[in-house]
Amino acid sequence: MAVVIRLQRHGGKKNPYYHIVAIDSRAARDSGNVLERLGKYDPMQPKDSDKRVVFDADKARAWMAKGAKPSDRVYKFLANAGLLAARPAPAYTKKNQPSEKTLAKLKAREEKLAKAAAASSEPVAAAAPTSSEPAPAPEEPVAPAAEAAPEAQS
């Protein structure tokens, strides 16, 4: 008989509550054929709450020594408690790499920035207008209407 340590759902609709149980792998998830109840998992509790996952570590160790395999979720609980080594995160070969189209866009953007930097480093005299027209004279400031009104009355 292959024994697994997995979650058994309890609770109501949209209010899940799980028991962590040692059970025969061929048994249905919610069947009553539980070999031993090891703890509880309440996903409705905040993630940092002590009441979210509660289980007996000694019972879990004993079942694993007998050959019981934990499910993925229970494995995470046991790893967080320090009973097992955490599984390494998979390194995907393509999903974590940018696509060829994105790489082409990045290369074009870098080239454009390099050209702009080269253009801005040219001497300032070259950027001055080369036309023969004289530069316009600055306009004289216009006096505000409040100051102009007393002069008209005198």
The CATH code of the domain that includes 54 is 3.30.1320.10
Q: 72-78 — which CB contacts under 8 Å span 24+ positions? A: 73/6, 73/7, 73/41, 74/5, 74/6, 74/7, 74/20, 77/20, 77/41, 77/53
pTM score: 0.57
Q: From first to last of its 154 residues, what are the pLDDT tens digits of the chain?
A: 799 999 999 999 999 999 999 999 888 888 878 899 999 999 999 988 889 999 999 999 999 999 999 999 999 999 999 998 988 877 766 777 788 999 999 999 999 999 988 888 766 554 555 555 566 666 666 656 555 555 555 4
Does residue 149 belong to any structural domain of this protein?
no
> Considering only CA atoms, which of 22, 28, 30 is closest in space to residue 6?
22
Domain count, the chain: 1
Domain enclosing residue 14, as ranges: 3-81
Cβ partners under 8 Å of residue 29, min gap 6: 6, 7, 8, 9
Does residue 16 belong to any structural domain of this protein?
yes
Give the type of residue at 31: S
Does residue 104 belong to any structural domain of this protein?
no
Does residue 118 belong to any structural domain of this protein?
no
